[in-house]
Structure 1
Amino acid sequence: MCGIVGYVGARPVQGLLLAALERLEYRGYDSAGIATLFADRLDSVRAVGNLQALRSAVARAANGNGAGAGSNGSATAVAVAEPSTGIGHTRWATHGRVCERNAHPHMDEAGRIHIVVNGIVENYLTLKRELTARGCAFASETDAEVIAHVIARHYDGDLPAAVQAAYGELVGHFAFVAMATGEPGVLVGARRECPLVVGRGDGEQFLASAVPAFLEHTRQVQFIENGELVVLRPDGAEFRSAATGEVVEREIVEVDWDAETAEKGGYETFMLKEIHEQPQAIAETIADRTARGVGVDLGDLGAIDDAFLRDVRRIVVVACGTSYHAGLIGRYAIERWARVPVEMDIASEYRYRDPVVGPYDLVVGISQSGETADTLAAMRLARESGATVLAITNVMGSQVTRDADGVLFTRAGLEIGVAATKTFVAQVAAMYLLALRLAELRGTLPAARLRELIAELKRVPGSVAALLERGDDDVQAIARRHYKAEFFLYLGRHIGLPVALEGALKLKEISYIATDAYAAGEMKHGPIALLDDDTPVVCVATDSPVLEKLISNIQEVRVRGAHVIAVATAGNDELQEHADEIVAVPATDWMLAPLLAVIPLQLLAYRVARLRGLDVDQPRNLAKTVTVE
């Protein structure tokens, strides 16, 4: 999830853009760039690394030493008179390597249209082929560059009209800002699900992916809705429907956030913000990979080709913590859909047990940071033994990407909270994609069933968004009743077991309450002795072929006096008589239910920890990335 900024007004814009980008550094990035326009003079500077690298590149360009790409792609110096229009970007890479030519802003080949983008263009390959056939030359490996070329195709001197026409051709989840060399003092922003907000000033206007970018200059804010464009000029902002071009009114809101609150998007903590970013994390991870509708496109797996995936004999998943739980969900999906045997291993154990692995095995290492020491060591051991290694990670350029034969990137953006939330659901989504691709290649699912599952997976982000928009009053009520409990037990069966394990881990991590999670059928082999009248027992009870078995386990819990909290599928009334409290989640295919069922468990852990007065973003003794054994 990238950071984007834009400005139109009378002030020197270059320094203003750099300062705004620095206020978006918390979003994370691997490269950055700005483009500024004054009269017909366009200067663009991009750099790999942090904002200091970009500042250095801007200084070199000003001294005539290159590093800036002008409208014709050549090195230029920054204009003597500061331009009045500009856009800037911090990139969190999703398509294309981390390098200067993939950094934003991007432009069409004539250098007329310049854009910065946050999000994914799902149909970029189709558009790129069409544009290339018409003679367009692309300078980057990114999906974002397509937007500049599509706008340029429609541009005849009216940037808002060209953006509106281009918007109708784009499929995906994105927000972008465009400027044209022929229209200084004009910016056009467009939003489809990714965030974009306007800052209103006196004789100047701001546009950004988050309020912190312009908070020191104005607290007058207008929020852009999905399916809308905004046209900015120094004297105002005009909002339009992207479908019809009709002008719409948007209220100006006075925000009273301080800088820290602004960074959190108005949420009280980064963890809560990131819980609410999960629909976008899932959507961006599956986006273009399911755009065909009839299959899954994993063309970015590097050296791991379809022939190997079709013939692979065994898959071994190595991971730690939350990533291990995502792998467990993937195991159920791969074995059920693709009929490939899957073994799970905790990475810290795998590296020491002299595992038997060879050329016909695929070893999947999952690490959100790409730097987890035990997972890296396990992957290296497997590769040395002749196995093919696939990495699933959230960070381009991380060590895990260099140690693997292929990489499947999640697209969750930077996660600041130590307790993983959006990176977990993105990892689960990636494992589902792998399972579906294997099934497609091996012919283990009927074509109709494959299409059905892909369509259902594409609906999940909307269902997660609806669940979060509903609010968590029911979870808060449960948390208030049980936050003083000294012990929680979590139960699940089949696909619900990894969800129970992840829910229990979240509670341990941020509330410091002793918590255990078990396969429900194993409860009577020990954990049942822990139950008494004060024990909250959280059951993942979404619809599945084993739900009746789980209900039997719930009955065993209740006769011991424990208090049953069930996460259930909306519309299933059978559980009403078996559970003390129920949190309902939207219905979906039962194998995809973990992406929904985990949400109430994250929120329960969050609310319990907050009621106990704890810091959920930085829990004690924990680090975001475990880089030592």
Structure 2
Amino acid sequence: MCGIVACTGAPEVGRVLLDALSRLEYRGYDSAGIAVTGAADGRSAVLRTTFRVDDLQRRLDHWQPGLPATTGVAHTRWATHGEVSVDNAHPHTDCSGRLAVVHNGVLDNVLELRAELGRAGHVLTSQTDTELIAHLIEGRLGGFPLRRAVEETIGCLRGSWALAVLDGATGELVVTCHGSPLVVAESERGVFAASDLAAIAPWVERYRIVEDGDVLDLAPGLPWWRHGMAVRPPASIASTLRGTDLTRGVHPDFMAKEIEQQPEVVAEVMTTWGPSVAGDLWPSFGLQVPRHLTIVGCGTSLHAGRAVAQVTARLGGIPYSAIEASEVATTTTVPGSLAVVLSQSGETADVLRAVDVLHQRGHPILALTNNPHSALARQAQAVMLCQAGPEIGVAATKTFTAQVIGGTAMGLSLLAAARLVDRSAVRRRVAELSGVPDLLAYAIGAARRSVPDLVPALLDSPGFVFLGRGSSRVFADEGALKLKELTYRWAESHAAGELKHGPLALIETGTPVVVLDDGSERLAANIAEVRARGARVISVGPEQATIPARTSTTALARGLDWLGPLETVVGLQVLARELAVALGRDVDKPRNLAKSVTVE
């Protein structure tokens, strides 16, 4: 879950690298570092910090080796092996200081490699797995090109990696990957490699994906090797990222921007997929009509998958199971079930491991992702794109609504193809979905007006309980996840009917209980139960709720019962963000979390 970037051929490469690295910081922000050519005696010049990238940017003007250099690597870290410290920050060097390595991923055979290097006399100065790679390459470098030494080294590694290796003596740069994403690109600004296209998007129009096991010199023409043989670089892909996608604009943080973008995102999803839902969308996947769905994802993506599966079950009677990706290997799945696998990035390590298991069990896989060129998309039999655009805030917002709406469009198409729902009825549902952007826009505005007045009374609350019934439950789960991610306060989500089976013990005077209000008598009874014990009830939903999400002025604005109360989620997002801001949290970069979870 780290971010790496490498560049050659750019004047004042240090500034270029740190500019790119600032756009990768969502992948990890425990520490950061940079290495460039130009140090004395052929060493790589290294600068590291346990602060964020802006600390390196402040120090760069006084870092003499970094000013004239044209080749270098940079890294922003999410700690796995070793505590957060300067010694554990990347880049890591070999014994001579000649080689500098940055790494995204995690090695499994660390103890074995440490023992090997110790016997060979290498001196290790960090707790990381990455430093081992630098010393392993050092031991294989004598008399060989750097590319050959890297090839031999990765044959000794077990785990996942995206690597950029800098030779400070020669200025060579070599990159490779296995189980961790890496893209490369050439432009007038230089030759680049990065964990994510967003890092280098302002300077490149096309890019190439590095496949597992590929090794290449980061140099003009991109000399490329696969299985030890020189090959032509793969076809380039046009970048669709816009400069405005990667900036906050007028918003105070990316999360605020991405909450506001949700109506626009849903409109884009419906413009893209709506016309084909009742017709050729499902046939285009080339999949048989399933009798059962297996929903697989992590965190927010799993919540979105459950919301989608509830729709196909409610409207068409298709049964489903929902499984955390990390639990797939130890969970029995229904033979022949269609696996609907959700991942915003398409690079989530637990998800990719689950895909391997699902393939072994013979499950066809339909990927629901925001990244058409991701590992998940490449391994699935069919892909449904979410059309959300880049999401920089670590806590997912617009990608959740995009997954729910995109997945619902897919589900409706499945029901039409299976003749479980009449096509004319499917077209009516699609027309209703086209009104969701207006519904979300109203809910965002209502939350902006109502939530700030609630926050002062919640600042000292150590924890929160979220309640929902039926189709509301999964959205309550998502609201609780957002609040705990952003505020660092505990938040539990429960089915409202389960209160008396344990959760009611948590309720005392002042405990905030966030209720997704469906207006039912049974839920009213649950609300009375917590109020009788002194709870501070925060209702979300109808016009008279504490946080309104719907208005009674039009039929559509009263919500789509068959979809579930998707509109309530934006109020829960605003609540989590406003409380986090008031508590002084960094809402774009919550502690201990990173955006693209590429390690298990």
Normalised to the residue count of structure 1, the TM-score between the two structures is 0.57
| Mapping 1:173-188, distance limit 5 Å | none
Percent identical pairs in the alignment equals 37
Question: Relative to structure 1, is the Cα distance of residues 390 and 55 closer, same or farther in structure 2, using a 3 angstrom cutoff?
Answer: same
Aligned position for 1:278 = 262
Amino acid at match of 1:272: A
| Mapping 1:47-446, distance limit 5 Å | 53-55=186-188, 103=238, 210=244, 263-291=247-275, 294-295=278-279, 297-298=281-282, 301=285, 304-305=286-287, 308-309=288-289, 312-353=290-331, 355-358=332-335, 360-446=336-422
Q: How many residues align?
A: 388
Amino acid at match of 2:256: L
Amino acid at match of 2:306: L
Amino acid at match of 1:384: Q
Q: Between 368-377 and 489-498, report the one with greater CA deviation.
A: 368-377
Amino acid at match of 2:525: S
The match for 1:522 among 465, 479, 498 is: 498
User: Distance between the aligned counterparts of 2:513 and 2:207, measured in 1?
Assistant: 40
Please list the CA deviations of residues 450-494 of structure 1 after superposition, one character each: whole Å capped at 9, or x if unmatched.
222111111101221233345612011112221221111000011
Please list the CA deviations of residues 367-392 of structure 1 after superposition, one character each: whole Å capped at 9, or x if unmatched.
11111111111121111111111111
User: Distance between the aligned counterparts of 1:296 and 1:531, measured in 2?
Assistant: 51
The match for 1:601 among 572, 581, 595 is: 572
Question: Relative to structure 1, is the Cα distance of residues 594 and 296 closer, same or farther in structure 2, using a 3 angstrom cutoff?
Answer: farther
> SS of the residue aligned with 1:273?
helix
Aligned position for 1:172 = none
User: Distance between the aligned counterparts of 1:618 and 1:57, measured in 2?
Assistant: 29
Q: Residue 307 of structure 2 contacts residue 474 of structure 2 at CA under 8 Å; is this kept in 1?
A: yes
User: Distance between the aligned counterparts of 1:300 and 1:92, measured in 2?
Assistant: 27
Q: Residue 211 of structure 1 contacts residue 265 of structure 1 at CA under 8 Å; is this kept in 2?
A: no
> SS of the residue aligned with 1:534?
coil
Q: What is the CA distance between 1:294 and its match in structure 2?
A: 4.8
User: Distance between the aligned counterparts of 2:596 and 2:327, measured in 1?
Assistant: 18
Q: What is the CA distance between 1:584 and its match in structure 2?
A: 3.1
Question: Relative to structure 1, is the Cα distance of residues 483 and 427 closer, same or farther in structure 2, using a 3 angstrom cutoff?
Answer: same
Aligned position for 1:584 = 549
Q: Residue 328 of structure 1 contacts residue 344 of structure 1 at CA under 8 Å; is this kept in 2?
A: yes
User: Distance between the aligned counterparts of 1:318 and 1:467, measured in 2?
Assistant: 29
Q: What is the CA distance between 1:403 and its match in structure 2?
A: 1.8
Amino acid at match of 1:342: Y
Q: What is the CA distance between 1:525 and its match in structure 2?
A: 0.4
User: Distance between the aligned counterparts of 1:465 and 1:300, measured in 2?
Assistant: 32
Amino acid at match of 1:317: I
1:491 equivalent to 2:467? Answer: yes
Q: Residue 549 of structure 2 contacts residue 567 of structure 2 at CA under 8 Å; is this kept in 1?
A: no
Q: What is the CA distance between 1:583 and its match in structure 2?
A: 2.4
> SS of the residue aligned with 2:250?
coil
User: Distance between the aligned counterparts of 2:498 and 2:367, measured in 1?
Assistant: 32
Amino acid at match of 1:54: S
User: Distance between the aligned counterparts of 2:577 and 2:320, measured in 1?
Assistant: 32
> SS of the residue aligned with 2:395?
coil
Aligned position for 1:215 = none
> SS of the residue aligned with 1:376?
helix
* Consecutive unaligned residues in structure 2, runs of 5 or more: 1-15, 26-181, 193-201, 209-232, 551-556
Q: Residue 388 of structure 2 contacts residue 398 of structure 2 at CA under 8 Å; is this kept in 1?
A: yes
User: Distance between the aligned counterparts of 1:371 and 1:50, measured in 2?
Assistant: 13
Q: Residue 300 of structure 1 contacts residue 408 of structure 1 at CA under 8 Å; is this kept in 2?
A: no
User: Distance between the aligned counterparts of 1:598 and 1:267, measured in 2?
Assistant: 20
Q: What is the CA distance between 1:54 and its match in structure 2?
A: 2.6
Question: Relative to structure 1, is the Cα distance of residues 91 and 610 closer, same or farther in structure 2, using a 3 angstrom cutoff?
Answer: farther
User: Distance between the aligned counterparts of 1:298 and 1:265, measured in 2?
Assistant: 38
Aligned position for 1:554 = 527
Q: Residue 207 of structure 2 contacts residue 236 of structure 2 at CA under 8 Å; is this kept in 1?
A: no
User: Distance between the aligned counterparts of 1:332 and 1:102, measured in 2?
Assistant: 36
Question: Relative to structure 1, is the Cα distance of residues 277 and 343 closer, same or farther in structure 2, using a 3 angstrom cutoff?
Answer: same
Aligned position for 1:481 = 457
> SS of the residue aligned with 1:351?
helix
Amino acid at match of 2:322: M
Amino acid at match of 1:271: M
User: Distance between the aligned counterparts of 1:413 and 1:364, measured in 2?
Assistant: 21
Question: Relative to structure 1, is the Cα distance of residues 294 and 344 closer, same or farther in structure 2, using a 3 angstrom cutoff?
Answer: closer
> SS of the residue aligned with 1:345?
strand
Amino acid at match of 2:422: P
Q: Residue 316 of structure 1 contacts residue 363 of structure 1 at CA under 8 Å; is this kept in 2?
A: yes
Q: What is the CA distance between 1:587 and its match in structure 2?
A: 2.1
Aligned position for 2:78 = none
Following TM superposition, the consecutive aligned residue runs of length 4 or more in structure 1 with deviations greater than 4 angstroms are: 22-28, 49-52, 56-59, 87-93, 98-102, 292-296
Q: Between 473-482 and 318-327, report the one with greater CA deviation.
A: 473-482
1:508 equivalent to 2:542? Answer: no
Q: Residue 27 of structure 1 contacts residue 413 of structure 1 at CA under 8 Å; is this kept in 2?
A: no
Amino acid at match of 2:444: L
Q: Residue 314 of structure 2 contacts residue 562 of structure 2 at CA under 8 Å; is this kept in 1?
A: no
Amino acid at match of 2:412: L
Q: What is the CA distance between 1:56 and its match in structure 2?
A: 6.7
Amino acid at match of 2:499: M
Of structures 1 and 2, the one scoring higher in RCO (CA 8 A, sep 6+) is 2
Q: What is the CA distance between 1:596 and its match in structure 2?
A: 0.9
Q: Residue 317 of structure 1 contacts residue 345 of structure 1 at CA under 8 Å; is this kept in 2?
A: yes
Amino acid at match of 2:307: I
Normalised to the residue count of structure 2, the TM-score between the two structures is 0.59
> SS of the residue aligned with 2:435?
helix
The match for 1:615 among 563, 577, 586 is: 586
Question: Relative to structure 1, is the Cα distance of residues 418 and 103 closer, same or farther in structure 2, using a 3 angstrom cutoff?
Answer: same
Amino acid at match of 1:555: A
| Mapping 1:24-63, distance limit 5 Å | 26=23, 53-55=186-188
User: Distance between the aligned counterparts of 2:267 and 2:319, measured in 1?
Assistant: 28
Q: Residue 323 of structure 1 contacts residue 366 of structure 1 at CA under 8 Å; is this kept in 2?
A: yes
Please list the CA deviations of residues 105-126 of structure 1 after superposition, one character each: whole Å capped at 9, or x if unmatched.
xxxxxxxxxxxx88xxxxxxxx
Question: Relative to structure 1, is the Cα distance of residues 313 and 52 closer, same or farther in structure 2, using a 3 angstrom cutoff?
Answer: closer
Q: What is the CA distance between 1:295 and its match in structure 2?
A: 4.9
Aligned position for 1:627 = 598
Question: Relative to structure 1, is the Cα distance of residues 481 and 290 closer, same or farther in structure 2, using a 3 angstrom cutoff?
Answer: same
Q: What is the CA distance between 1:24 and its match in structure 2?
A: 13
User: Distance between the aligned counterparts of 1:438 and 1:496, measured in 2?
Assistant: 23
User: Distance between the aligned counterparts of 2:243 and 2:351, measured in 1?
Assistant: 34
Q: What is the CA distance between 1:561 and its match in structure 2?
A: 1.6
* Consecutive unaligned residues in structure 1, runs of 5 or more: 1-18, 29-48, 60-86, 105-116, 119-207, 213-262
CA-based RMSD: 3.2
Question: Relative to structure 1, is the Cα distance of residues 324 and 388 closer, same or farther in structure 2, using a 3 angstrom cutoff?
Answer: same
Q: What is the CA distance between 1:528 and its match in structure 2?
A: 0.5
Q: Between 289-298 and 360-369, report the one with greater CA deviation.
A: 289-298
> SS of the residue aligned with 1:374?
helix
User: Distance between the aligned counterparts of 2:389 and 2:205, measured in 1?
Assistant: 12
Q: Residue 338 of structure 1 contacts residue 438 of structure 1 at CA under 8 Å; is this kept in 2?
A: no
User: Distance between the aligned counterparts of 1:471 and 1:520, measured in 2?
Assistant: 23
Q: What is the CA distance between 1:530 and its match in structure 2?
A: 0.8
Q: Residue 541 of structure 1 contacts residue 569 of structure 1 at CA under 8 Å; is this kept in 2?
A: yes
Amino acid at match of 2:367: A
Q: What is the CA distance between 1:533 and its match in structure 2?
A: 1.4
> SS of the residue aligned with 1:495?
helix
Question: Relative to structure 1, is the Cα distance of residues 369 and 550 closer, same or farther in structure 2, using a 3 angstrom cutoff?
Answer: same
> SS of the residue aligned with 2:187?
helix
Question: Relative to structure 1, is the Cα distance of residues 290 and 519 closer, same or farther in structure 2, using a 3 angstrom cutoff?
Answer: same
> SS of the residue aligned with 1:591?
coil
Q: What is the CA distance between 1:569 and its match in structure 2?
A: 2.8
Question: Relative to structure 1, is the Cα distance of residues 394 and 539 closer, same or farther in structure 2, using a 3 angstrom cutoff?
Answer: same
Q: Residue 558 of structure 1 contacts residue 564 of structure 1 at CA under 8 Å; is this kept in 2?
A: yes
